[in-house]
Amino acid sequence: MSIIDGKTILLTGGTGTFGKAFTEYIFKNHQPKKLIIFSRDEFKQYEMERRFPLEKYSIRYFVGDIRDKDRLYRAFNGVDYVIHAAALKQVPACEYNPFEAVRTNILGAQNIIDAAIDRGVKKVIAISTDKAVNPINLYGGTKMVMEKLMIAGNYYVGGKSTLFSAVRYGNVVGSRGSVIPFFIKIKKEGKKKLPVTDKRMTRFWIPIGDGVKLVMNALEESVGGETFIPQIPSMKITDLAKAIIPNCEIEEIGIRPGEKLHETLISEEEGEKTYKMTKNEQDLFIILPHFSDLNGRYEKYLNLFEMPKDFSYTSSNNEEWLTVEQINNMIGNHI
């Protein structure tokens, strides 16, 4: 029996790429009491309900915004676990609408913390991004603050028992907003030239199924305060271009504002408290918080392999790289 069998799970931002994959995985492999999809787009919920109808699945759809604390209090009633995926994610949109990004990504996270504690939620797993590490754009900055709020929530609970942890991963293959659909569109137009911002650019890449597995592993293992990170491969942006259009011409157009040449999942400062484990055939890094151990809860990790004090994990210093052929196999369903 798994941790979520017979339990009620609520997923914020549940109509997105992750939400759909998580929902499919849950009902294929587990028997939850109920899964609640919480999001603010009623049309996306309508589309999702056609795929996961109420008559067949133990699922409910709540229209609501994480900015609305009252709505969260209502939705969290009777919920065991919350997976927090809702966010404003588009870097240019966040730069142009900074106050909106703060209201959703930061104040919305605070609302989730308050509602989860007061409604007796057992665990909250917040989904973050590599852009939260040493952020250079507003989106990354808000996600960094979101992570800090969630981890600090373990002190904020007082006498309550809610646990807060986070997961952090890189670009999702074929997700909305990734470069893959853009490159594919150019290919379908019959063009042979692909624009890249910088030929030196590298990125972490993860299939959405591995993202779901990461969240499940975090849900099972977390004791509150950890950040879970998958060990995933890197790729060169030029190899991605070649995988989509072989022998393509690459046009270098320059890095956009707020864009990094390489991405970081673990900074050197975090590497000092990072451990490594394998869970359900997935290799994980676990960053423990820098505040003191809460009643010895982190002792379970101390027997794991501890990373060197100067350890960092970036898309450029990664030991595992995707070849053009491997990238092609990964994106085959999207072309």
* Catalytic (active site) residue 260: no
The C-alpha atoms of residue 131 and residue 241 are separated, in whole angstroms, by 22
DSSP state of 321: B
Residues sharing a CB contact under 8 Å with residue 136, sequence separation 6 or more, in sequence order = 258, 260
Out of 7, 20, 89, 131, pick the active-site residue.
131
> Which among 242, 258, 255 is positioned nearest to 194, based on CA atoms?
242
Residue type, 161: S
Q: Give the Å distances, CA to CA, from 278 to 103, 166, 281.
A: 36, 17, 6
Q: List the structure tokens of 204.
A: 């972490």
Count CB neighbours of 220 within 10 A: 13
Using DSSP's 3-state secondary structure scheme, residue 233 falls into coil
Q: Number of C-alpha atoms within 13 angstroms, CB side, residue 328?
A: 9
Q: Which residues are identified as catalytic?
A: 131
